[in-house]
Structure 1
Amino acid sequence: MNVPVIPVELRAEGATLLLVWPDGARQRLAVAALRAACLCGPCRAARLRGKDPTQSIPADLALTGIAPMGYGVQLVFSDGHDRGIYPWNWLENFPSTPAQTTLTAPPGKATSSVAPSSMPR
């Protein structure tokens, strides 16, 4: 069985989710892109029906909650969506936000320090 690499820190920073991996690598992911790529059943079904998930995403979308769930993390978005669990290996391979992106929103309050030894397996 392949054990996923779990970030040592997760933090909302404005319009991005910052992940710090055990090797020290820092990854910034756009919150709106994560919401648009939600892996929950209803979101997947909507994409299969040809609906554009980005049409209903507010411009000021932010994270209001971050909850590690063993194999991944549940993200709670300011639009109320909280159904998707994003696997660690999926997040690790998700396209990062370019470093030159300017954040216009103030830093978010959603944070989580993940202690791998305390995570359920």
Structure 2
Amino acid sequence: MTESGPWPTGLKLKKAERILEVSFDDGAHFRLPAELLRVESPSAEVQGHGPSQKKTVPGKANVAIVALEPVGNYAVRIVFGDGHDTGLYTWDTLYRLGRDSDKLWTDYLTALERQGLSRE
């Protein structure tokens, strides 16, 4: 376990399913869809520079993960099929995305609807 949270024990890309599987040393195991990872990217392009600047990213229903690039021993850069590759997904970020995925997904769908945007 890191000082800030659980440590990853497995990272597996299932390209055909567009899923990233992540396992942690506390027994947690998450299946993270590429679409969720893309629309919740920790990049400034998506998150802005504060909670009030977060952008709702439409049209990512079929986005793929084309590569995973390790960043030191603390993160992974995910390269998406739409060219986005600027977010560094720390282990804590991946854990949070897995733990909170249901709420994040619901919030995303609500934001799309409210803004008249589509996943397609």
TM-score by length of 1: 0.64
Task: State how far apart, in whole Å, the 1-side matches of 2:52 and 2:85 are.
Answer: 20
Task: State how far apart, in whole Å, the 2-side matches of 1:45 and 1:80 are.
Answer: 18
Distance 1:39 1:24, change over 3 A: same
Task: State how far apart, in whole Å, the 2-side matches of 1:89 and 1:51 are.
Answer: 21
Deviations 1:6-43 (A, max 9, x none): 32321222121101223554211111011001111122
Higher RCO (Cα < 8 Å, 6 or more apart): 1
RMSD: 2.7
State how 1:40-119 maps to structure 2 within 5 Å. 40-45=43-48, 48-49=52-53, 51-53=55-57, 55-57=58-60, 59-69=61-71, 70-95=73-98
Task: State how far apart, in whole Å, the 2-side matches of 1:91 and 1:51 are.
Answer: 19
Contact 2:76/2:88, CA 8 A, preserved across alignment: yes
Q: Percent identity?
A: 27
* More displaced 10-residue stretch of structure 1: 85-94 or 37-46: 37-46
Runs of 5+ unmatched residues, structure 1: 99-121
Corresponding letter in the other structure for 1:82? D
Distance 1:20 1:49, change over 3 A: closer
Runs of 4+ residues deviating >6 angstroms: none
Contact 1:4/1:71, CA 8 A, preserved across alignment: no
Task: State how far apart, in whole Å, the 1-side matches of 2:82 and 2:96 are.
Answer: 25
Query: For residue 116 of structure 2, what is the aligned residue in structure 1?
Result: none
Displacement after TM superposition at 1:49 (Å):
4.5
Deviations 1:59-95 (A, max 9, x none): 3211111112122111011111110001101211213
Distance 1:2 1:60, change over 3 A: same
Number of equivalenced pairs: 96
